[in-house]
Homo-oligomer: A and B are copies of this chain.
Amino acid sequence: MTIKYDKKEPLYEQLMDTIKVKIKNDYKADDKLPSEREIMRKYSVSRNTVRQALNELEILGLIYRQHGKGTFVANATDNPATLGNEHSFTKQMIALGRKPETKIMEYSVRPANKYFANKLNINEGDRIIKLKRLRSADKVPVMIDRTYLPFSKFEGLSAVELEVKHRSLYAVFAEDFGEEFRIADEALSAGRISDKDADVLQVAQGSPGLMLKRTTFNQQNEIIEFTLSSTRSDQYVYNIRYKNTKI
């Protein structure tokens, strides 16, 4: 792996990606990385560039540093991403050096029953779009999302945009439908993965899973999305960073 000037990507990002791959393939937790000065010589970049790459990796929780001792690989299962407040599955997985994939298992339009009418704050019988997606990382199934959308707001939503063009749901909401989200409420709990989902996620029946419900509101405070997610507990950790804003 070499670092090139002519690429569009900044040097420190190329360096980050290179180190990410090495962490994933060659190193294990608490292994020592080469010193900043060694990395600098090896890739012919300045020390500031090396430090910029390492700073980002530190923020992502992939490495930790000890003054006077060195830079070490963090335990990936303990502290995966801290990613600000990034709650996009795809971006989280990329940040962790894993290859995300999303497969649409179902795309249908149907009348809302009482439960979903209530969740989307529409009338029973109004049409809704149901989108069932399997999220994987490095070919390992991680999460099943069931997303329910009011048809009236997203008529013409194309599965192709999501699956083939790899656009995020929020990007399509904003760019194709002018629906910018203002608030997203998430509720996390633990439960047993249903037998049907367990087969898809390739875990034993009765396995525990992280369950997530999300309700998203647009700028006019209308509900634009209700999603139920079921997640393999051994493959996914939900990270949140709280900042004390009091100065």
Which residues on A are within 8 Å of B, measured CB to CB? Answer: 20-21, 23-24, 48, 59-62, 76-83, 85, 87, 180-192, 208-211, 213, 215, 219, 231, 233, 236-247
Contacts and interface: CB of A to CB of B under 8 A. Distances in A.
Given A23-B247, A182-B243, A188 B208 contact: no
A240 B21 contact: no
Contact of A82 (B24, B182, B243): B243
Contacts of A239: 185-188
What copy number does this chain have within its complex?
A: 2
B191 A242 contact: no
A7 to B, nearest CB: 19
Contacts of A182: 243-244
B190 A191 contact: yes
Contacts of A85: 79-80, 242
A191 to B, nearest CB: 6
A191 B62 contact: no
Contacts of A245: 60-62, 76-77, 82
29 contacts: A23-B247, A60-B243, A61-B243, A61-B245, A76-B245, A77-B245, A79-B185, A80-B242, A82-B243, A82-B245, A83-B242, A87-B242, A182-B244, A183-B242, A183-B243, A185-B239, A185-B240, A186-B241, A186-B242, A187-B239, A188-B188, A188-B237, A189-B210, A190-B190, A190-B208, A190-B233, A191-B208, A192-B208, A208-B209
A57 to B, nearest CB: 10
Nearest to A55: B55
A168 B162 CA distance: 46
A117 to B, nearest CB: 12
Contact of A236 (B81, B189, B208, B215): B189
A238 to B, nearest CB: 4
A210 B210 CA distance: 8
Contact of A184 (B187, B215, B241): B241
Contact of A24 (B59, B231, B247): B247
Given A76-B245, A208-B208, A240 B188 contact: yes
